[in-house]
Each structure stands twice: as structure tokens, then as C-alpha cells.
Amino acid sequence: MENKPSNKWLTIGLLSVAVLTLLGIILTITSYHNTREQAMKLNKNQLTKINDYATKVWSLSIQNYSDILENYSLDFFNEDQLTQLPKKNRLINDFQPANQALEGIYLLDTEGNLLEGYSYTDNRLEKIAQLPAFIQKDSYFEDALAGNIIQNGKEFFANNASYINLYQPVTNHDKSVHATLVVPLNLEKLYQNEILPEDNDYYGYTMIKNEDFRVLVHPVEEQIGWDIIQDRRKKFPDLDLSDLEHLQEVQATHDHGTLSYYSYWWTEDKPRKTLKISAYQWVTIGKARWIVASNSDVNQRSGITLQEILILLGLFFLLLALIALTLLNLRSYAKRNQAYVENMRLQEKQKLLAERYETEKIFQQESKLETVGLLTTSIVHDMNNFLTPLLGNIQLLLEEHQEDEVLQEDLKEIYQAAKKGQQLAGNVLRFSKSDTRPRTNLDLKNVVTEAVQTMHVLIPQTVNLQLSAEEVGESFFEADDLQVLLYNLITNAFQAAGNNAVIQVNLTPANQKQTKQFQQHSAALQKKKFAVLVVQDNGPGISKAIESKIFTPFYTTKSEDGGTGLGLFVVASIIKKHDWLLDLESSEKGTCFTIAIPLI
């Protein structure tokens, strides 16, 4: 190329960009100014609607409580019932105290004496004997007792809170006032429940002041009762409150309106100065006259500001950088993800192998227990066979040596010992056999006594097994099921408490309270009577963390050779089979299993 390229079009392009940029800046500044003014106008209109809504909610909330009180008096008071409130449950249903502003309900005579009253403490209705003193701080309290107040008196402050009393006269047939219902409302609680949740869509809050410009409700509870100028100046002497004084002057002379002013966000630890918008309105409720004011931050509600534009530009360039970094990291992420998936697959495989190993170990343990059971049954059976001829020969010796009294006594002692051994062997054989007795009507005391006597042979002698069984009647069940149940509970108890365990087995009729509780479990049990079987030990108790797991099959806290995890599962299965009821109570002092058995 012989000629140097011309920069004509480059210059034209640069000048065009410069002109367009300058025009864009001018248009942006003009548009921003117009937008800000329009936004300020829209914000004032919107804030006025918010304040109107808050005012209506506040008025309707108090009116709602007053209507409930009026309906309450019409429904429950008559000539025969003028000095007593309805039952506690009805009070709870009518006034719904949970998360509400109600402090209580009190019935007073014309002299101000308390006839009956209830106060709410921690959302619980408690009867009181003396009227709380703060209720009488209402300047219209005496007029209300005479029946001259409609709906409510005036606000008052007590216990670092603001209140208002609702009144409802209770009249005789001749319309004369016999008593007065007084319901104090905690205005701050009412504010938190009804007003604050509605203010989440804008940066600001609604507050309420009385005629003296003392704070009635506010997001900062510390400021309740404050003079909005004097008390804030005492708390924050370095802050400029001149605009706030001007706002107070305007509000004192106008019924409603909007105003922008410089103030501070009192909800912050260190109040910062900012430009606010305030929409306010005076409202009269009963004898009270208040000003409801909603405040908002101008900068937060004025649309897109210059700072926001700079932030958006910064975010745009940051987004470009992030996109580049994301693209660079995609391949690395894919590789890491592949490695992660492979690692999870190996972990799952290892978990399955571990579960398989545990299952095999449980089956091996069950096989060992079955073998031990068979061996024990065989030994006891052989011992029973040995004892049979022994008893026969002793009987022959008793007949042959009747003249020898000393020998007779010795032979009888041997005979009784052998007979007792035969009975114990018979119990063990009957207890361990695989076939069960048929379900029939059985005397509970006999079955429980037999099972406990058998357990005396099977557990260590150092274990103190005590039995207390009363005559409770018969029940329809399988004897072997109840014996197996007791075997598992007693075995579990002495294994937990050790060789010096004290185990108590008690069988008693259910008392009236227990019977009523048991009958509520199902319709089939509503007309039943019950026996209560209790197995209690002095062991270390069962941890709350595992109480829900102990009836799960194969769950055990013992060592590998100490348990199978099936004992309590069998107990739960037997109880479910017979529609019995089971209750477990455990502490550091021991564990108590309570079983409710329906009687015939």
C-alpha cells in the first residue's frame, strides 16, 4: 500500500462517540432529576396509603377486641350470673391469648373491687386474687366503673410499656350498671402482632404517639414513653434534632399530611442521619387521640440513584470476570465431579459390604443361641430322667424303713429336694419348648408367678428378683407369650443393672385414672378393665437418644457377646399381637416398663 491510510473516518467515529456520550450524560442527568421528583411524589402517595392501612389495622384491631368483649358480656351474663366469669376454658377459646396483646380479663363492681379475674402469664391463663395496680392508672378508670365510658379509656404507661383499658358494663334488667368488665391491652404487643409484619416491603416503620408526643409504640421498645424530642436529646446529646422539632410543629397543627425531613434511624445501634419521608394521620379511639406516622428512607425509595448505577456497572464487569473464570473452571469442575461420583460409588459399596457383614454376624449369633438352647433343653431333659428313678427308689426306701424315724426324716428331705428339682426342670422344659399353649382365659397372677419362679433359676443368685402379685382376674392370651415377655424384660434388666441388680415385678389392678387413660387408646378398649404389670430395675437407665431405637430388631448396646438386639423387639411384638399397651419411663435411677393388659 503506497498511500497512508486515512484517519478521517476514525476521527469522525471518535467525535460521534464523544457527542453521543455527552448527549447521553445530559439526558441521563435530566432524566435522573425528573425521575427523582416523580419518585418522591409516588413515594409520598404510596407511604400515605401504607399509613392509612396501618391506621385502619390499628383501629380495627382495638375495635375487634372491644367487639369480642361486648359479645362475651351478652353471651354469658344474666340476672343470675353477674359476679362470676365463665369457665377458664371458655375464656381461652374466646380471647385466644397466644401471641396476643391481652393482659387479662377482670370483673369489677362499681366500687372497683375485684369480683373475679384472670391474667395471662407466658400465654397461660391464671386466676388472680387481687387486681393489678397498673390498671387503675387510666385517668378514666373511675368513670368506667360508673358506666360512663364507651369502648375504652385513655392510654397510660406502666412497667416500661404502654396500655389501654377496654371497658364493658354488665347491667341488670333495669339497665343499671352492676359490674364492669376490664380488659387491659398491651399496645406494644398489639403493634408487633398487627403493624410491624406489614412494614417489611419498605425501608422504614410505623410508630404511634399520643397527644403529648410521647412514644406509644415503636420498633425500639426502649423508647416507649419517651418525649420524641427531649428524651432523645438526653440519650443522644450530639445529634441535630432541629428538623424533628419542625416535624412535631407541623403534625401538631395538621390532621394529616406528608413531609420530608432529616432525622435518624433509631432502630440502629448508632443512629445515622438520613433524609426521611413521613406520612401521618390523627386518629381518635374512644377517649384516646393518637397520631399514626409511617416513616421511610428517601434514598431507598427514590428509584435508581447514581450510587446504584455505579454499583450496577461494577457488578457488570465483575460478572464478565466471573463468566471467564467459570468457563476456565468448567473442565476442572467436570473432572472433580467425576472423581466425586466415583468416590461416592465406592463408599456405597463399602457400606453395603459392612451391612452384609453385620447381618452375617447377627445370624451367627442367633445360631449360637439356638444351639445353646437345644443343649440346655437336652441337659434338663436328661436331669429329669435321672430324677424320676431316684424319686421312685426314695419312695421304696421310705416304705421299707418306716420304723427308723431318723432315716425317715433324711429320706423325706432328699425326696423333697429331688421333687423340687423335677418341678424346676419341668418349668424350664415347658418354658423353652417351641410350641405354645393355645390362647385362652388365664389367671394373670398364676401365669406371672410361674414365670418369675422359673426366672429365679435362670438368673444369677446375686440378683434380687422380687414379686408382688395381686388377684386381678383373667385375661385372654397365650401363657407362653407372657412368660417370654417377662423373661426378656427381666433378662434385659439384670444385664443392664449387673449381678447386684434389684428387679421388682408388680401385678396390680389399674386404678381409676389409669383405666381412663388406657380406655382412650382405641374404641375397642373403652369399656375394658385393666391389670397393670410393672417390671422395674435399678440400672443406669436408657439414654433419651436411643429410646426410640430399643424396640428395633437387632439393635443392641451390649458387647458382641452380650446381646442379640431381639429381646425388646420380641416384647414389642407380643404386646402388639395381644393389643396390650406399653409405657417406658427411664432415668439415671432405673428403668420401668409398664404394661396394661385388658381383663375379661
Dump pLDDT digits (tens) for 163-196: 999 998 887 777 778 888 899 999 988 888 888 7
**pLDDT at position 393:** 78
Packing angle of the helix pair 8-76, 88-95 (nearest 10 deg):
150
Pick the more confident residue, 523 or 553: 523
CA–chain centroid gap for 169, Å, is 39
Collapsing DSSP states into helix, strand and coil, what is residue 550? coil
Closest CA to 473 of 452, 495, 446, 451: 446
Q: What is the residue whose three cell numbers read 445370624? A: 363
Dump pLDDT digits (tens) for 306-352: 445 554 565 566 556 656 655 665 565 566 667 767 777 878 878 87
- Residue ranges per domain, the chain? 58-191, 437-598
Candidate from 105-114, 377-386, 469-478 with smallest mean pLDDT: 377-386
> Could you tell me the pLDDT band of residue 224, with boundaries at 50, 70 and 90?
very high
Dump pLDDT digits (tens) for 77-122: 655 566 677 665 566 666 665 457 888 889 888 888 888 888 887 7
Dump pLDDT digits (tens) for 142-170: 998 888 888 899 999 998 899 999 998 88
Q: How far is CA 340 from CA 40, 343, 344, 345, 349, in A?
A: 54, 5, 6, 9, 14
> Could you tell me the pLDDT band of residue 226, with boundaries at 50, 70 and 90?
very high
- CA torsion, ordered 570, 576, 578, 581, to nearest 10 deg: 110
CA distance 440 to 190: 64
Q: Tell me which CATH code domain 437-598 carries.
A: 3.30.565.10
Q: Is the pLDDT of residue 361 over 70?
A: no
Pairing of strands 104-109, 581-587: unpaired
Candidate from 212-216, 452-456, 555-559 with smallest mean pLDDT: 555-559
CA distance 408 to 401: 7
pTM score, two decimals? 0.48
**pLDDT at position 250:** 92
Are 58-191 and 437-598 in the same CATH fold? Answer: no
Q: Is the pLDDT of residue 412 over 60?
A: yes
Contact yes or no for 580/596 (Cβ under 8 A): yes
- Greatest mean pLDDT among 1-10, 340-349, 466-475, 516-525 lies in 466-475
CB atoms within 10 A of CB 560: 8
Q: Is the pLDDT of residue 4 over 50?
A: no
Contact yes or no for 480/512 (Cβ under 8 A): no
Assigned C-alpha cell, 111: 366500687
Quote the mean pLDDT of the chain: 78
**pLDDT at position 352:** 78
Dump pLDDT digits (tens) for 554-570: 667 665 445 556 677 77
Assigned C-alpha cell, 310: 455505579
Rg (CA), the chain: 43
CA distance 163 to 62: 12
CA distance 276 to 244: 10
Contact yes or no for 216/187 (Cβ under 8 A): yes
CA distance 52 to 215: 19
Can you say whether residue 477 is alpha, beta or left, with left for phi > 0 and alpha for psi between -120 and 50 degrees?
Answer: beta
One of 3.10.150.10, 3.30.465.10, 3.30.300.30, 3.30.450.20 is the CATH number of 58-191, namely 3.30.450.20
